[in-house]
Amino acid sequence: MSNTETFSNWENLVKKQLKTEDIYTILKKENLEGIDIKPFYNSIEKPMVSLPKIEESTHLVASYHESLEDDVFAFLLNENVENLVGKTVFINNKELAEHISPQDEDQYFSLIDVFDEKNAEINDQLVKELLAKDFKRNICVDISLHQNAGAAIYQQLGIALAKTKELVEVYGAEIINKLIFRIAIGGNYFFEMAKVRALKLVFNQLTKEYGLDEIPYIFAETSLRNKAISDSENNLIRSTLELASAMIGGADAVYSTNYLVEKSTDNSEEISFKQQIVLAYESIINVFEDASNGSYYLENITNQIADKSWTYFVEIEEKGGYLELLKQGFIQKNIYDHAVEEQKWVEEGKIKLIGVNLYPKLDQKKSIEELYNQNEIKAVRWAEMFE
């Protein structure tokens, strides 16, 4: 049976079930990203080659705890740990990054954002100190803040490119393969897979402008934006799906932020890491290079997100670049506008948070005006409106 016949059969079946000829109006699914989603896919306009990742198997990153030292190979460090040998270490503290010296058998990565978003500048001294370190990846381009502040996916990726270009303009194209991208993965399962893949596409496109052919090193952590203080079990389910999105999308490292919002315990840290272990060792989704390659739906939305991200990046550059637009408040206002629209969808129940605005429905306690500031990029959880 041909694709055309399959599509026709599907259309007729749905018309019969919905008792209408106008099935596309009914089946259309809105989204705030401006991505066109069809209810049925039977082909792909631009088939993709497999999108590689840098690590052969995705690193499963745990917050450091001495009880995990024998079994865990990759740690996120906020403070110094003596005699940590033969591990992959992601440094999450500026003072620690300045003073640490890796041994030959260690792999060190910096997760320190060298951009000061509030003052719209690059911390030049910090960049130089980090570049002098014998790290696998020295400079972090952090867009996790932007996701948690409510930026659209295309805004996050456009900003990632704009921050990269700012660094290249100051430190030269040789900085490109010293970068690590820190991203936060939200709850829109397939869109977030496409986000990881689209970042690979647009970053590669940018590097070609400098005569290179590079792919990004992607450190993906679970989002804070869709988590609720009173709903830890649902948080755990949400973050597990986010980890799966990151692994299937092809992240090089994944980290689960604690599902107990604002009250981490040793037990919750252990469970947060075990989420990754179950996914990797039982589903084995961390070893594939590009697990979703060939999916008509994912290929389609990956291309759309990549196109919108590149367009936004070009807009930033034409208006003067990332730092200049931070000074003008343009970036902050763009993120604010999207974040507020998203929060309205939560308020109206179009975005569903089980246990917050659905099953049971909590009373609203804070207004959008109390939660957001159009002059500041700051993390805001959807559930804060009800807490």
The pLDDT of 198-221, averaged and rounded, is 98
pLDDT of 197 over the 90 cut: yes
Helices (H) and strands (E) in the chain, counts: 13, 10
User: When comparing pLDDT for 185 and 356, which is higher?
Assistant: 185
The pLDDT of 11-37, averaged and rounded, is 87
Q: What is the distance between the alpha carbons of residues 373 and 104, in angstroms, rounded to a whole number?
A: 46
User: When comparing pLDDT for 101 and 56, which is higher?
Assistant: 56
Kindly report whether the peptide bond that precedes residue 47 is cis, defined as omega within 30 degrees of 0.
no
Residue 291 is predicted with a pLDDT of 86
Residue 226 is predicted with a pLDDT of 96
Residue 147 is predicted with a pLDDT of 98
Count of CB atoms situated within 10 Å of the CB of 95: 12
pLDDT in tens, 334-358: 999 999 999 999 999 999 999 898 8
Alpha-carbon distances, residue 134 vs 84, 91, 316, 354 (angstroms): 16, 13, 33, 45
- Residues 232, 234, 239, 244: what is their CA dihedral angle, to the nearest 10 degrees? 150
The pLDDT of 321-341, averaged and rounded, is 98
pLDDT of 115 over the 90 cut: yes
Residue 173 is predicted with a pLDDT of 97
Residue 1 — pLDDT band, cuts 50, 70, 90? low
Average pLDDT, the chain: 92
CA angle, residues 205, 91, 156, in degrees to nearest 5? 35
Strand partners, 140: 113, 180
Tell me which residue of 307, 317, 338, 298 sits closest to 44, measured CA to CA: 298
Tell me which residue of 238, 249, 247, 236 sits closest to 199, measured CA to CA: 249
Residue 104 is predicted with a pLDDT of 65
Residue 69 is predicted with a pLDDT of 86
Strand partners, 106: none
Helix H or strand E segment including 158:
helix 153-171
Residue found under tokens 């090193």: 217
Residue 108 — pLDDT band, cuts 50, 70, 90? very high
Residue 41 is predicted with a pLDDT of 86
Q: What is the distance between the alpha carbons of residues 178 and 137, in angstroms, rounded to a whole number?
A: 5
The pLDDT of 233-258, averaged and rounded, is 95
Alpha-carbon distances, residue 221 vs 63, 88, 116, 337, 379 (angstroms): 12, 16, 21, 24, 14
Is residue 377 within 8 A of residue 331, CB to CB? The reply is yes
pLDDT of 371 over the 90 cut: yes
pLDDT of 2 over the 70 cut: no
* Percentage of residues of the chain with pLDDT beyond 70: 98
Residue 290 is predicted with a pLDDT of 87
pLDDT in tens, 74-105: 999 998 888 788 899 999 998 888 778 777 66
Residue 105 is predicted with a pLDDT of 66
Beta strand pairing call for 115-116 and 121-122? antiparallel
Residue 265 is predicted with a pLDDT of 84
Q: What is the distance between the alpha carbons of residues 304 and 297, in angstroms, rounded to a whole number?
A: 11
Q: What are phi and psi of 344, to 5 degrees?
A: -65, -40
